[in-house]
Amino acid sequence: MLLLVLCGAGSALADGIDTLQLRDQFGAVDSLAAHRGAVVVAVVVDVRRLSTIQRWGEELGGRYPALHFLNIAQMPAEGPVDMARVTATLQKRVPATVPVLIDIERRWATSHRLDTAAPNLLVFDREGRLAGQLRGRFSAERAAAITPLIDRLLAQ
């Protein structure tokens, strides 16, 4: 099933998610607000499912060089989380050119009511407003559903 949700132009992020600063596996800090002025795709997924985001990055990044990406790994809701262990694992398993922000408190998933068992693509306009979202692994059908929105936002 394909689900693309288009949000109204006034959609704002709850709970200060746009300014929430997260660290990646290399210690760098990033946030949605740091990308103001650019069209951003935030890919939010459970840390155990990170392999499902690679194809999205390759396909959309290759097609849209001006598109900014925030890869956000949500920690499992159950059990204690050790930041040092997660960081070390990401450094081993994810290419050094792909920063992954680590959301220990699951604030992105909670604020958007996301099921992170599959990737969630959240598309933000140049003002940082949520313009649309899509859930699922990469497929040609899903890409065809989200690219018109990205085309429109990049043309503005």
Pairwise CA distance, residues 104 & 107, whole Å: 8
Domain boundaries, the chain: 4-155
Residue with tokens 């795709």: 41
At the fourth CATH level, the homologous superfamily of domain 4-155 is Glutaredoxin (3.40.30.10)
Residue 114 burial (10 A CB sphere; 0-12, 13-18, 19+): buried
What per-residue confidence (pLDDT) applies to 133? Answer: 95
8 Å CB contact between 99 and 30: yes
Residue-wise pLDDT for 75-110, tens only, equals 887 767 778 888 888 888 888 888 999 998 899 999
* Distance in angstroms (rounded) separating the CA atoms of residues 22 and 31: 6
Please state, in angstroms and rounded to a whole number, the distance separating the CA atoms of residues 26 and 87. Answer: 8
Q: What is the pTM of this model?
A: 0.86
Over residues 55-71, the mean pLDDT reads: 94
